[in-house]
Structure 1
Amino acid sequence: MRVSPVPRPPRRTLIVLSAAALCAAGALSATAAAPAAALPTAPGPAEPPGGARAAAVYPNLTPKPPMGWNNWSYYMCDINEKIVLGNARALVRSGLAAKGYDTVTVDDCWMLKKRDAKGNLVPDPARFPHGMAYVGRRLHEMGLKFGIYEDVGTLTCEKYPGSLGHYQQDVDLFAQWKVDYLKMDGCNLPTAPGKTKERTYHDAYRAVSQALVKTGRPIVFSVSAPAYFQYDGDHVWHQVIRWSSETGNLWREGRDIAVEKHSGAKKWASITYNYAYNAKLAHFQRPGRWNDPDFLLAGDSGLSAQEIQSQMSLWAVMAAPLISSTDLTKLSPAALKVLGNRDVIAVDQDTKGVQGRVVQQGAGYDVLAKPLKNGDRAVALFNPGGSARTLTTTAKTAGLPKAGSYELRDLVTKRTSRTTGKISARVPAHGTVLYRVHPLR
């Protein structure tokens, strides 16, 4: 979804962050704060749309949140074969691929402006002189998966040929190229006569979903539909998320994350904004079906070490896809340490497959808790404000069972301590402390 990543005031308050903190981050103006909305109280699984809308559920191809790399946020349209394969090699060389970052996705602008005489999409020979099947082969030789971008409309967001009228033809071509992951955007989709915008999007994404199944190739399907309804009111937005969770494996719910050309302040505002809308949608996620608040920016210029660690920790506790979008060939040791932290990755990839929820809020801070497979809980203390503060919660608030004591492991510093129930830390500005909490007998 190609819209400015600098947040405009939402129609709802998503997670209560203090107006001062959000203003400091550039997320909203002093006059734009909306009344606080209640946290969701219905934690059940997403409900499929009924009646004529019901369709076969797309195969569950992602038992854990997807991980990998996408070029868009860093390179945008400045993309070519050398850049893609160079970043792929960096994934392997850095050890990130071995830690789960295994899908390399080529975003918009990879094709020519016109289809060929048979109606097929044509890779831009100047950008990809060996073609996309070659890119896929090279990625597979590295032990990686191959992702590609298209759009359900007449044109992609950058005005390249969209798939409307060619859904089966295009996904058959992707299957021929051995594509493993399809990101399907929703720009330039005209509302069909006699249909609402929501029904038009539903039918388009359902058609792509069915076409993908017909290829016989297991292709992870990333749905962008909800991002086009974020400001159409919660009822419609949530309905789109519900059917997206049946149509595909993951779905972009809202605004794009910031891009490399933006300032550090705008990037931090974008991270906090995307965190806020995603955290409120935990009740839609279920194991194997993932809310997607967009890319990780670790490695981008302008962000502090605390900010990139916060994004990684928050995305992990929310069981979000961990998809980096930066220049991995120039990744700093500090950024590599954040992206490659096995303990934080383990929280994201936990096989229980549950998105963490906000369990406590105060003026300008959030506490999130995520149940883990072995009975532990991940607990994140998030301070989006401009000065350090001590944040405190309890094992009971985090949903842990009663125990004589608890082991706290800070997943960033690796320090371990014990507590009888109090969970507390001094959290720096724009920081997040992420604990793994284990009840002791």
Structure 2
Amino acid sequence: MDAGWQTLERDKEGRQQVNLTRFPGGIKPVADYIHKLGLKVGIYSDAGIYGCDFAPGSYGYEELDASQYAEWGIDYLKYDNCGGFQANTLSVQERFLRMSHALKDTGRDIFYSLCEWGHQFPWFWADQFSDSYRMSGDIHSEYKKDNSNGCATAYCLNTGYAGVSVLTMIRKMREISRFQKPGSWADMDMLEVGVGNMTRHQEEAHFSFWAALKSPLIIGADVNNIRDSSLEVLKNKEIIALNQDKLGVAVNYIPSLSREGKYQVWAGPLKSGKSRHVILVQNYGTDPLDISLPVMEVPGLSEGHRQLVIRDVWAKKSLGKLGATIGLKGIEVDQVKVLVLSEK
């Protein structure tokens, strides 16, 4: 439940009030129902005086609000920063840390997701007290077109703008992927698969990179009305397995094997079942292309990996044993090749 679940005022005891028009029975019955389905439930608040919907934020009420979330059975808190500009007596880190302590004091295991849009470069500090952190402004359902005003890297001015494209979000992760680790995940924002008008190749690329970069996979589409083709993308178990791999190591961008404006190559280790490595090759240029990847230039691979076999995940076929090179022909515009290297 994102912004909009509460009213614009606290009650006389200082508690956030539920919007009873939207939730006539309150939040707890909803949470109980969701739990009976075997799912977990998340809620929204803000580290400032107001949230993005101008409802009361949790600044100064951290313990009271955290206690209420625990009583309702909440499992996940998205903690925004829209009202933080009015609460400027404390740093961003101090305000987010307060809620971290409050959540822990409840005794309930509540996943703590920071949302300060990468403005203060949270990959350097958010691992100290949160489970995930947004690393950029809000995504929108555009593959290439965005409103980033030229802010395409992780270290340009992130001011909380909305309208970041899928490709720009991936570009920003070039500098951030190495910080990914169990217990502290860079959140690339909600999946836009099934939301806009992306092509099949674009949706496959979107989902593949979010999974391989170990971003939390949160569906942004209305699952009651989602297109069958988009749902098929989201249900690809082999792609989901990349995200859930027990090593928890994200793929990293390989500049020496990539060509700016045409194609990009990312790779990383795996350790689930017989899977040992994954390589992503994406054509984000304007023409179809053929690529030959020299295996010894892929970080983590060596002569000792020659017994591994290659699987093209989206094509659902084997490409045979790993040789000196990996040849890929006819990669279409916007298409991504996800290659999983496994033991026999």
TM-score (norm 1): 0.69
Q: Which of the pair has the greater relative contact order for Cα pairs under 8 Å at 6+ separation?
A: 1
**1:111-190 → structure 2 map (5 Å cutoff):** 111-190=6-85
**Per-residue Cα deviation, 1:334-392 (whole angstroms, up to 9, x for no partner):** 11111010111111110000011012321322100020015611100011123222233
Report the Cα distance in structure 2 between the residues aligned to 1:420 and 1:147, rounded to whole angstroms. Answer: 46
Report the Cα distance in structure 2 between the residues aligned to 1:171 and 1:192, rounded to whole angstroms. Answer: 19
Gaps of 5+ in 2: 147-162
* DSSP 3-state at the match of 2:97: helix
* DSSP 3-state at the match of 1:170: helix
Q: Is the 8 A contact 1:264 1:302 kept in 2?
A: no
Structure 2 equivalent of residue 251 of structure 1: 133
1:369 aligns with 2:270: no
Per the TM alignment, residue 205 of structure 1 is displaced from its structure 2 partner at its CA by 0.6
Report the Cα distance in structure 2 between the residues aligned to 1:318 and 1:308, rounded to whole angstroms. Answer: 15
Task: Select the residue among 98, 101, 107 that pairs with 1:207.
Answer: 98
Structure 1 equivalent of residue 222 of structure 2: 327
Per the TM alignment, residue 186 of structure 1 is displaced from its structure 2 partner at its CA by 0.7
Structure 2 equivalent of residue 414 of structure 1: 316
Structure 2 equivalent of residue 434 of structure 1: 338
Report the Cα distance in structure 2 between the residues aligned to 1:204 and 1:416, rounded to whole angstroms. Answer: 50
Are the structure 2 counterparts of residues 318 and 302 from structure 1 closer, same or farther at C-alpha, using a change threshold of 3 Å?
same
Per the TM alignment, residue 265 of structure 1 is displaced from its structure 2 partner at its CA by 5.4
Report the Cα distance in structure 2 between the residues aligned to 1:206 and 1:269, rounded to whole angstroms. Answer: 27
Per the TM alignment, residue 226 of structure 1 is displaced from its structure 2 partner at its CA by 5.0
Report the Cα distance in structure 1 between the residues aligned to 2:143 and 2:184, rounded to whole angstroms. Answer: 31
* DSSP 3-state at the match of 2:258: strand
Report the Cα distance in structure 2 between the residues aligned to 1:287 and 1:264, rounded to whole angstroms. Answer: 28
Work out the percentage of aligned pairs sharing the same amino acid.
Answer: 28
Are the structure 2 counterparts of residues 401 and 272 from structure 1 closer, same or farther at C-alpha, using a change threshold of 3 Å?
same
Q: Is the 8 A contact 1:306 1:431 kept in 2?
A: yes
Report the Cα distance in structure 2 between the residues aligned to 1:122 and 1:182, rounded to whole angstroms. Answer: 16
Q: Is the 8 A contact 2:309 2:342 kept in 1?
A: yes
Per the TM alignment, residue 280 of structure 1 is displaced from its structure 2 partner at its CA by 1.8
**1:385-404 → structure 2 map (5 Å cutoff):** 385-398=285-298, 399-402=300-303, 403-404=305-306
Q: Greater share of strand residues, 1 or 2? A: 2
1:266 aligns with 2:145: yes
Are the structure 2 counterparts of residues 417 and 190 from structure 1 closer, same or farther at C-alpha, using a change threshold of 3 Å?
closer
**Per-residue Cα deviation, 1:278-302 (whole angstroms, up to 9, x for no partner):** 2320222212321111111111131
RMSD: 2.0
1:303 aligns with 2:198: yes
Q: Is the 8 A contact 2:123 2:176 kept in 1?
A: no
**Per-residue Cα deviation, 1:184-228 (whole angstroms, up to 9, x for no partner):** 0011214667x6xxx611110111000000000000000123533
Are the structure 2 counterparts of residues 192 and 329 from structure 1 closer, same or farther at C-alpha, using a change threshold of 3 Å?
closer
* DSSP 3-state at the match of 1:324: coil
* DSSP 3-state at the match of 1:347: helix
Report the Cα distance in structure 1 between the residues aligned to 2:199 and 2:306, rounded to whole angstroms. Answer: 38
Are the structure 2 counterparts of residues 192 and 255 from structure 1 closer, same or farther at C-alpha, using a change threshold of 3 Å?
closer
**Per-residue Cα deviation, 1:68-94 (whole angstroms, up to 9, x for no partner):** xxxxxxxxxxxxxxxxxxxxxxxxxxx
Report the Cα distance in structure 2 between the residues aligned to 1:156 and 1:191, rounded to whole angstroms. Answer: 11
Q: How many residues align?
A: 319
Structure 2 equivalent of residue 27 of structure 1: none
- Structure 2 residue identity aligned to 1:412: W
Structure 2 equivalent of residue 284 of structure 1: 179
Q: Is the 8 A contact 1:250 1:292 kept in 2?
A: yes
1:423 aligns with 2:326: yes
Q: Greater share of helix residues, 1 or 2? A: 1
Task: Select the residue among 98, 118, 123 that pairs with 1:227.
Answer: 118
Structure 2 equivalent of residue 63 of structure 1: none
* DSSP 3-state at the match of 2:51: coil
* DSSP 3-state at the match of 1:173: helix
Report the Cα distance in structure 1 between the residues aligned to 2:12 and 2:339, rounded to whole angstroms. Answer: 57
Report the Cα distance in structure 2 between the residues aligned to 1:301 and 1:201, rounded to whole angstroms. Answer: 33
Per the TM alignment, residue 136 of structure 1 is displaced from its structure 2 partner at its CA by 0.3
Q: Is the 8 A contact 1:151 1:184 kept in 2?
A: yes
Moved more, 115-124 or 402-411: 402-411
Per the TM alignment, residue 264 of structure 1 is displaced from its structure 2 partner at its CA by 6.5
Deviating above 6 A after TM superposition, structure 1's stretches of 4 or more consecutive aligned residues are: none
Are the structure 2 counterparts of residues 288 and 421 from structure 1 closer, same or farther at C-alpha, using a change threshold of 3 Å?
farther
Report the Cα distance in structure 2 between the residues aligned to 1:159 and 1:219, rounded to whole angstroms. Answer: 24
Per the TM alignment, residue 269 of structure 1 is displaced from its structure 2 partner at its CA by 6.5
